[in-house]
Amino acid sequence: MSGRTLTNVVNEQTVALNALIYGYAGHSLVTPHAALQQIWWTEERINEKVTKDFITSRLRPNERERLHKPVGFGDLTDDTYIEWILERARRLFLVLAEIGEAEKIFTAVENSWDDDDLPLQMEDIEQLELSNRRDAQADSRFYHTQFTFLLRVLREGVHIDYAPNEELPLEYVMGLPPAVALQNWPRVHLPKKPNEVYVRRKFPLGNSESPNAYESDYILDVESSRMVEHEHIAPVWASYTAKGTGYIVTNFVGQHTLRTFIDHRNPTQYQRLSKPDRRYLLLNWLHCLADATAVLHLSGFCHSCIRPSNIIIDDHNNLAFSDIGSLETFQKDKKLDPMDVYIYSAPETHTTNESFDPDASAPPPNIGTPRKPSIASKNSTGSSNSSGSQRQKLTKVPTNEFSGFNFGFRKNKPVPKPRSRTHDTEKADVFSLGCVFLEIMTFMVKKKPHEFVKHRSSKQNVNIGGKNHRTDSSYHANLDKIDTWMKIVEDASFEQDHDSFRAIPHIMNLIRGMLSRAPSIRPNARDIRDRLLDILLHYTAIPDIHCGAHKHDIDLAISSTEGSDRASTMSSRSSTMSISTVSSDADTIRSASSTMRVSSILNSYSDRTTLCEIDDPESATANKAKPWSKPFLLLP
């Protein structure tokens, strides 16, 4: 007999057994999901379970003879009771068998009831006369048991509103991603499909004062995110609401953010590649991110939150934006780092239109605390100084993302003005994308991230999120040092022999344009993508360029004049979608007729599948599941 070691004693089976013994065998992050097989009454399982033999085994001998007689409600059908049950009422029979009232199936069939009538209300259940027998609580038991067999499984493109007493058909997957920032997004899988893993994110639909305060925002943002389909933007695979919380499920399972990937230096999935493939992968990432940003802009959206922490990478080295940053619902489950926001923001986001000078030095930052804007802070005189926050989605109104607070500790200093999002435009996205590109190129030539931060930092007191910092490592405040760092990266590329490094000097020239202080000088995302494609084709031997087909450009009409390019495209869309734009640098889909746009999206929810009306026995009847149709753009 071999000795018992830690590896052959502690495994998935023993952990699962221990969970069963001590009574916490539910699926969770710490319980192996493969070893614990949870019972889900899916359509397939019900069809396998409810057979002719199963039905007869639950009935008395005299009742079994009745199964083969015609149903007792006239000449409307020639079906027998057994045929009716097998074709139309398998779930209904399961519920009755579960509560020990299987013989009442005959009463249900005589009332022409079938599975489509579930869930039954209490007044309907009383017609079965279940409580006339030994159990006075049979009606209540039937009511609550029926939801066990009314399993509504999520599928692609569907939205479901689950009632509080419904079973939620999702199981947790054991394990956490290496990136700490992604660990609060649990991994789940559908019943009987442990190998199809999804990521679930949740968002509150209201607060203590108004339980549904954010529900329309959630609906609008989820619907808006479906308007942009790109393989490098994590999709909303399905969505649902349950117990006052909204959820989205995506099939892009990130293991790292770009920030943790670069800081890790040797991620496992990256080390599996050969050295040439690693370099080609990083070059491909540049082109894919540019293509995704171009599609966002062509669809009428701005990202407004492009930074490494919002870019995720799966275990196959595919990368994607975690969401569309300008849709505020998707930012509620993230831990916002004000310093991260400040570092990757464009110069114009820290100044006003009147005072912006592209040739002047970068001003000190004005960014407030990320606290909720509804909270007021009292200064030493007792007055309230806080600013409200308006939504930045389909409407474009100058607003503040953060509110500044003064607690009276620095009486001689004025209260910092809140950061304005007026300049969160396509050009601001380009600047932030250029910062990301430079960090990827720094990683490619094997320069350490902290060396880059140290090089570009300057001694300057800044106040970020209510905290004072003695150094400023932002890109927009240190553009001169950024330029010298790009020269260091170029010099490092000349020391390498592989053909992939021949593209770096040309990419550096492109990044210089993207990081221009004046927004008008920066190229647009489409030009960046096309120039990257040209560089990769002419200066490298890359075997395959992902997104090289630019299939998302099909049927997109772009006018020849640069000044009217964006306005003319969005103007043609407004005629078919009731969306009107203001200028060529739209923050998101700007709508002068926002009421019509919101109304049209909310109307699409009138047929949403819901059981919310049957929270208790006195509630109304429920609707059946209907797929949540994807919106689409009608383009010229």
Per-domain residue ranges for the chain?
A: 43-149, 269-299+424-551, 368-418, 562-605
Those residues with Cβ within 8 angstroms of residue 470's Cβ, 6 or more apart along the chain or in another chain: 459, 460, 461
Give the amino acid at 103.
E
List the chain residues with pLDDT less than 70: 1-37, 73-76, 131-136, 351-424, 550-636
Backbone angles phi, psi at 443, to 5 degrees: -65, -35
pLDDT of residue 549: 75
pLDDT of residue 197: 94
Biggest alpha carbon–alpha carbon distance for the chain: 95
Place of tokens 């690693």: 278
Residue pair 481/362 in contact (Cβ under 8 Å)? The answer is no
pLDDT of residue 203: 95
pLDDT of residue 22: 56
pLDDT of residue 357: 53
How many angstroms separate the Cα of 102 from the Cα of each of 64, 92, 136, 150? 11, 9, 16, 18
Residue pair 506/283 in contact (Cβ under 8 Å)? The answer is no
The pair of structure tokens assigned to 457 is 């930092």
To the nearest 10 degrees (0 to 180), the angle between helices 426-444 and 479-494 is: 40
The conformation of residue 205, written as its DSSP 8-state character, comes to: -
Backbone angles phi, psi at 468, to 5 degrees: -85, 135
Pairwise CA distance, residues 583 & 563, whole Å: 9
Pairwise CA distance, residues 442 & 202, whole Å: 35
Residue pair 50/87 in contact (Cβ under 8 Å)? The answer is no
pLDDT of residue 23: 52
Pairwise CA distance, residues 174 & 36, whole Å: 11
CA 13 to centroid of chain Cα atoms: 33
pLDDT of residue 32: 54
Residue pair 485/448 in contact (Cβ under 8 Å)? The answer is no
pLDDT of residue 175: 78
Q: What digits encode the pLDDT tens for the residues 284-312?
A: 999 999 999 999 999 999 999 999 999 99
pLDDT of residue 230: 94
How many angstroms separate the Cα of 480 from the Cα of each of 430, 464, 476, 486? 18, 22, 9, 10
pLDDT of residue 588: 35
